[in-house]
Chains A and B, each alone.
Chain A
Amino acid sequence: MAILKTEQLTYTYSQGSPFEKTAVDNVDIEIEEGEFVGVIGHTGSGKSTLVQHFNGLLRPTSGRVLLDGKDIWEDKKNIRTVRFRVGLVFQYPEYQLFEETVYRDIAFGPRNMGLSDAEIDSRVRSTAMAVGLSDDILERSPFELSGGQKRRAAIAGVLAMYPQVLILDEPTAGLDPKGRDMILSQIEDYHKRSGCTVLLVSHSMEDVAKFATKILVMNESRLFCYDTPQAVFKRSEEIYDMGLSVPQITRVFDIMKKRGFDIHDEIYTVKYAVELVANELRKKGRL
């Protein structure tokens, strides 16, 4: 069954004013439990507005959002629980650290959930470990940490609520390649271990191609498509027209196709491309 479902979801900013703008237009989507979804779209395509509906941060102008088959706005009092079940990590989450110690910052969410001290302690320690923060860092002020550590502490604060759905809006913006890989592989580990559903909003097609099982493409407030990476990157022409791009390795094979060499396969990761080319060479007896 779909963990998240929208029915004709529409959201209009500043309705009735001269600045009225429909940011999400009639979106129907069903996301199955356990998927790792890459969410892509150009600036202003409506992707952030869309994901902010999934934990009830925004209320649809019309249409419905269903979590586990239940309309999240059916009973307004329940919205708090929805926010525990669907964790949202904003862009530059380190700006939202505020506590005296890293420990207290990570504990903030679980404490609001009314968990016991023992449970909070175990969650803080296990999520800190999951994002690669050692025990001695927990007692330090979050403001003494490096940029990458701050980012991971902020993500741990959301993970500690053990959300069923984890949404991250550009979690790697501004990080160096190593920091980028570290955070993404930690998220992937968490995803595999917990079986939770992950939505990763990203401008990096390479990252999306590497981790996502499904890709959601927003374009001009509408859902362009929701499909497997193969199917999405196959439409590279349309993806370019939207102001997006495809992984560099996919571009290589697109160019080859234009030059008359069609490999008849969708290539979007380096690993796969290497296997494929090596196999071709073996077939020809050149390797």
Chain B
Amino acid sequence: MNLIKAEKLSFRYDDESEYVFRDLDLTFRQGEMAAVLGHNGCGKSTFAKHLNAILLPTGGKVYIDGIDTCDESKIYDIRRQVGMVFQNPDNQIVATIVEEDVAFALENLGVPPKEIRERVDEALQAVGMYKYRMHSPHQLSGGQKQRVAIAGIIAMRPKCIVLDEPTAMLDPIGRKKVMNTIKKLNNQFGITIILITHYMEEAAQCGRVIVMDEGKVLLDDEPKEVFSHIELLKQVGLDVPQVTEFIWELKKKGVNIDTHIIDEEECSSILLKLLS
């Protein structure tokens, strides 16, 4: 079933500015994990902000679980369904204690205290930050803060989480833990994930990869298919995982090899076969 549906979506900031995108059609199924790629300024963040009514369409429609985002009376329903996580963890933490931060939105929604307690504990456990619940956020690393921000969203029990470059400011271990958390939320709780990223290795871990360029969808397929368009991706300022590039370079040298390789396990298997 389609959870999110953008129909002929157009947007520009005001009458004088250029359209960021025009007549964009894009749908997301309940439970899928999709990555959105595109160079800086291609419109992917602007698109993401349409998914929980931070921005409203200039033309066309966005439906979240059948609700039109232009319906102002439903705005809180929409924002409860679709949570957003941004790049900079420091801009998203509001409270002085981790568990209070996670409880913030629930308190605003008027959830009963007993239920808040349950949901906060559950959310912190889901992101692996339960033992830090009494810490002050400034004592945490960037990756830990991002996981707290994610917990604040899952506490609202959304159907979908949109993450706009959540790992851009993190070190390798922080990046890996945030990615593992996102995958777990998708696998175990069936939460729909839309991940905007500049890291091709992260996109390779999603079930679907959408490439945007100049406000249009250029490619929309499984990661293996998308990353096989290596020249096209480079043309639009993107890249492919190192292993994909490696295999592609070998192919160019005349080695007979399947170029649909996106992770290091597969790559080493294929090399072993080739060399032994």
Q: Which residues of A contact B (CB under 8 A)?
A: 42-44, 146-148, 173-180, 203, 205-206, 243-245, 247-249, 251-253, 255-256, 259, 261, 270-271, 273-274, 277-278, 280-281, 284, 286-287
Query: Is B30 interfacial (CB 8 A cutoff)?
Result: no
**Cross-chain contact A244 with B172 (CB below 8 angstroms):** yes
B39's partner among A179, A243, A271 (CB-CB below 8 A) is A179
Q: Chain B residue with minimal CB distance to A148? A: B40
- Report chain A residues within 8 Å CB of B267: 252
Q: Is B112 an interface position by the 8 A CB rule?
A: no
Q: A13 → chain B, closest Cβ, in Å?
A: 13
Question: Could you list 24 examples of A-B contacts with CB < 8 Å?
Answer: A42-B172, A42-B173, A146-B41, A174-B169, A176-B198, A176-B237, A177-B239, A178-B238, A203-B172, A205-B172, A243-B171, A243-B172, A244-B172, A245-B176, A247-B242, A249-B246, A252-B267, A255-B265, A255-B268, A274-B253, A277-B250, A277-B271, A280-B275, A287-B255
Contact of A244 (CB < 8 Å), options: B38, B173, B265, B276: B173
List residues of B (198-254) whose CB comes within 8 Å of A's CBs: 198, 200-201, 237-239, 241-243, 245-246, 249-250, 253-254
With A177-B238, A284-B275 known, 6 other A-B pairs at CB within 8 A are A173-B168, A174-B198, A206-B242, A244-B173, A248-B201, A259-B272
B275 nearest in chain A by CB position = A280
List residues of chain A with CB within 8 A of the CB of B142.
43
Residue of A nearest to B242 (CB): A248
Q: Which residues of B contact A245 (CB under 8 A)?
A: 172, 176
Question: Could you tell me if A146 and B40 are in contact, using CB atoms closer than 8 angstroms?
Answer: yes
Chain B residues within 8 Å of A176, by CB: 38-40, 198, 237-238
CB of B40 within 8 A of CB of A147, answer: yes
The 5 closest A-B pairs by CB, nearest first: A178-B237, A243-B173, A177-B239, A248-B242, A255-B268
Contact A252–B253 (Cβ < 8 Å) = no
* A274–B242 touching, CB < 8 Å: no
Q: By the criterion CB–CB under 8 Å, are B264 and A274 in contact?
A: no
Complex contact B87–A174 (CB within 8 A): yes
Taken together as a complex, chains A and B put the C-alpha atoms of A244 and B175 apart, in Å, by: 10
Task: Give bound CA distance, A284 to B265, whole Å.
Answer: 24
CB neighbours of B175 from chain A (8 A): 203
Residues of B within 8 A of A173 (CB): 168-169
- Identify which of B173, B200, B243, B254 contacts A177 (C-beta below 8 A): B200
Closest to A243 in B: B173
Contact of B268 among A148, A256, A271 (CB under 8 A): A256
Total interface residues on B, using CB and 8 Å? 43
Shortest CB-to-CB span from A45 to chain B, Å, is 9
CB distance from A70 to the nearest CB of B (A): 34
Rounded to whole angstroms, the CA-CA distance of A242 and B148 in the bound complex is 23
- Please measure, in the bound complex, the distance between the C-alpha atom of A44 and the C-alpha atom of B139, giving whole angstroms: 11
Question: A43 with B141: in contact, given A248-B241, A281-B274 (CB under 8 Å)?
Answer: yes
Binding site for A on B (CB under 8 A): 38-41, 87, 141-143, 165, 168-176, 198, 200-201, 237-239, 241-243, 245-246, 249-250, 253-255, 264-265, 267-268, 271-272, 274-276
Which residues of B are found within 8 Å of A175, using beta-carbon distances?
Answer: 40, 198
Tell me, rounded to whole Å, the shortest Cβ–Cβ distance linking B17 to chain A. 13
Docked-complex contact B246 and A274, CB < 8 angstroms: yes
B39 touches A178 (CB 8 A): yes
Which among B200, B238, B274 has the greatest number of chain A C-beta atoms within 10 A?
A: B274
User: Judging by beta carbons under 8 Å apart, are A270 and B271 in contact?
Assistant: no
By a CB distance below 8 angstroms, the chain A residues around B40 are: 146-148, 175-176, 179
Do the beta carbons of A249 and B173 come within 8 Å of each other? no
A203 & B171 in contact (Cβ 8 Å cutoff)? yes
Complex-state Cα separation, A52 to B276, whole angstroms: 50
Q: Give the CA-CA distance A132 to B123 in the complex, in Å.
A: 46
CA distance A287 to B274 in the complex (A): 11
Instruction: Tell me if A44 and B141 are in contact (CB < 8 A).
Output: yes
Residue of A whose beta carbon sits closest to that of B201? A248
Question: From B172, which residue of chain A is reached at the shortest CB distance?
Answer: A245
Is the beta-carbon distance between A278 and B271 smaller than 8 angstroms? no
In the complex, the answer to whether A287 meets B173 with C-beta atoms within 8 Å is: no
A177 CB contacts on chain B under 8 angstroms:
39, 198, 200, 237-239
Bound state CA distance, A176 and B276, in angstroms? 38
In the assembled complex, the Cα of A43 lies from the Cα of B172 at a distance in Å of 9
B173 x A255 contact (CB < 8 A): no
A148 contacts across to B, CB distance below 8 A:
40
Contact (Cβ within 8 A) B275 A281: yes
